[in-house]
Amino acid sequence: MASSLTKASAAPGTPGAETFFGHPRGLATLFMTEMWERFSYYGMRALLPLYLVAPGGLHLNAATATAIYSVYVSLVYLLAMPGGWFGDRVWGPRKTVAVAGAVIMLGHLTLALPSSGTFYAGLGLVAIGSGLLKANISTMVGHLYEGRDDARRDGGFTVFYMGINLGAFAAPLVIGTIGEKVNWHLGFALAALGMALGLAQFLLGSRHLADRSSVVPTPLSAAEKASTLRKAALWAGLAVVFYAVVGFSGSYTLNWILVPLTLLGVIIPVMVLARIKRDRDLDRAEQSKMSAYIWFFVAAAVFWMIYDQGGSTLSIFASESAENSVFGWGFPVSWYQSVNPVLIMALAPVFAWIWLALNRRGKEPSTIVKFASGLLLVGASFFLFLAPLSIAEGGHKAAALWLVAIYFVQTVGELLLSPVGLSVTTKMAPAKYASQMMGVWFLAVTAGDATTGLLSLAGVDLNKTGIVALEALLAVVAGGAVWMYRKRVKELMGDVR
């Protein structure tokens, strides 16, 4: 294609008047917004565990740092559900994304202030903003296309997700380097700048978005608004009173925040699944599919529990016990977080080609087999982690390539499990919960990360050989269970393949 932006025959100023690699011009706006938002998010996330343990940062122990990191990541995915609700019921997707961008930017600016008190407030703001943005920006990508049968739809989402990985790849290299080598808070300020650029171009390019992105699909009635505000005020008031009592009693510690949040991260996913499963409006086929879906959900929670430690447990290990250099050339620890996105960009097209080639021959693995394989691989990655751990316990620095190999195995596992999980979620969703099930899938990430947080708060050292081996074994057993019961799960799935 001669250029990325070309004129089409539609009237100027309307979606479709210009094209972006053959897609509606609005895709460029959303692509850049997501790229800059992911740049800010992953840049901050790469710095977070390192800042928490650094003598020049908050100088916390590894267990507390891992707990804070895990709680933060679990909150981002937990808040995606209420974020989608705001887009559907209150502001509409476009306004929700604009507000989310401003909240994320403010959060990063707050992180840039040299104060531990404001630091935690900044984390909360970034989590809230990310939750508001996550579901709604993907919804707006869908709005650019005419119906579900538009042949460009899948390709559009592929281009959009490239923006995610471009931002995630560049962020540790830029923000991580500045944060580690120059000043931690300057790194967080760069994350704020990235989000500011994303928000500015979103506001300037919003005229290219579909009109329905500004529409509130199912607005709250006056009675519903009043009821929602009353409930929100009640819970907020109770929280203020509770923490005021704890604070004035002199017994407040960080665990008074971390423990409730980690418990919510485990309890809420269970409650949501139980509520859907008990819904008597679902017919027998939908109930059966939900029973099968619970298998996938639990397996995914185990997967993400291990996978997301790539940003916490592995990162802290690298900062303390790895030789972070290649051929004598040293690099910042945060650069490890660029390995996964670059591998995703390199391997995703290969996997797509493999599945198509196998499908033509009638040999493509089933959803269940892909899921089981993803779990086995993430387990294998932690068995592989035992090697550098043993080297470090012997008083030596582990080679950087050990960590790169772990991230490689995890990325292959991700490509087997994550896209399949997204797909099976849409296929198995009961009609009544069609728009909510993507948020339910994100709750698997919440449950996995919250479990990691609970282990850390309980004093478990996740960088110990025995714990790593147990986690690896858990993933392998979970993958084996999915494989062993594949016929039963397949029966429960009904017509879904």
pLDDT tens sequence across 479-489: 999 999 888 88
Region for 59 from its dihedrals, namely left if φ exceeds 0, alpha if ψ lies in -120 to 50, beta otherwise: left
Strand segments, DSSP code E, in 233-335 are 322-323, 325-326, 329-330
| pLDDT in the model for residue 2 | 37
Q: Using an 8 Å Cβ cutoff, are 476 and 303 in contact?
A: no
Strand-strand pairing, 325-326 and 329-330: antiparallel
462-490 exposure pattern, b = at least 16 Cβ within 10 A, e = fewer: bbeeebbeebbebbbebbebbbeebeebe
Phi (first) and psi of residue 249, to 5 degrees: -75, -10
Region for 183 from its dihedrals, namely left if φ exceeds 0, alpha if ψ lies in -120 to 50, beta otherwise: beta
Angle at 87 between CA 84 and CA 91, to 5 degrees: 155
Angle at 495 between CA 491 and CA 497, to 5 degrees: 85
How far apart are the C-alpha atoms of 19 and 8, rounded to whole Å? 7
Give tens-digit pLDDT for 260-286: 999 999 999 999 999 998 888 888 888
Query: Hey, what amino acid is at 148?
Result: R
- Return all residues near 424 (Cβ < 8 A) that are at least 6 apart: 293, 296, 367, 496
Residue holding tokens 């508001």? 132
DSSP-based helix, strand, coil % in the chain, nearest 5: 75, 5, 20
Comparing 468 with 440, the larger pLDDT belongs to 468
Instruction: Give the confidence band of 15 by pLDDT, cuts at 50, 70, 90.
Output: very low
How far apart are the C-alpha atoms of 7 and 20, rounded to whole Å? 9
Q: Using an 8 Å Cβ cutoff, are 175 and 46 in contact?
A: yes
Please give the share of the chain, as a percent, with pLDDT higher than 70. 94
Q: Using an 8 Å Cβ cutoff, are 314 and 462 in contact?
A: no
Span 86-114, average pLDDT: 93
For residue 266, the surrounding DSSP H or E stretch is helix 255-278
Span 293-316, average pLDDT: 94
Residue holding tokens 């990655």? 381
Q: Using an 8 Å Cβ cutoff, are 296 and 371 in contact?
A: yes
Query: Hey, what amino acid is at 175?
Result: I
Span 126-142, average pLDDT: 89
Instruction: Give the confidence band of 238 by pLDDT, cuts at 50, 70, 90.
Output: very high
Span 321-340, average pLDDT: 93
1 has pLDDT over 50: no
Span 106-128, average pLDDT: 92
Give tens-digit pLDDT for 30-81: 999 999 999 999 999 999 999 999 998 999 999 999 999 999 999 999 998 8
pTM, two decimals, is: 0.89
| pLDDT in the model for residue 270 | 92
19 has pLDDT over 90: no
| pLDDT in the model for residue 156 | 78
**Residue 216 exposed, middle or buried by CB count within 10 Å (0-12, 13-18, 19+):** middle
How far apart are the C-alpha atoms of 208 and 331, rounded to whole Å? 41
How far apart are the C-alpha atoms of 402 and 391, rounded to whole Å? 10
| pLDDT in the model for residue 36 | 94
CB atoms within 10 A of CB 102: 17
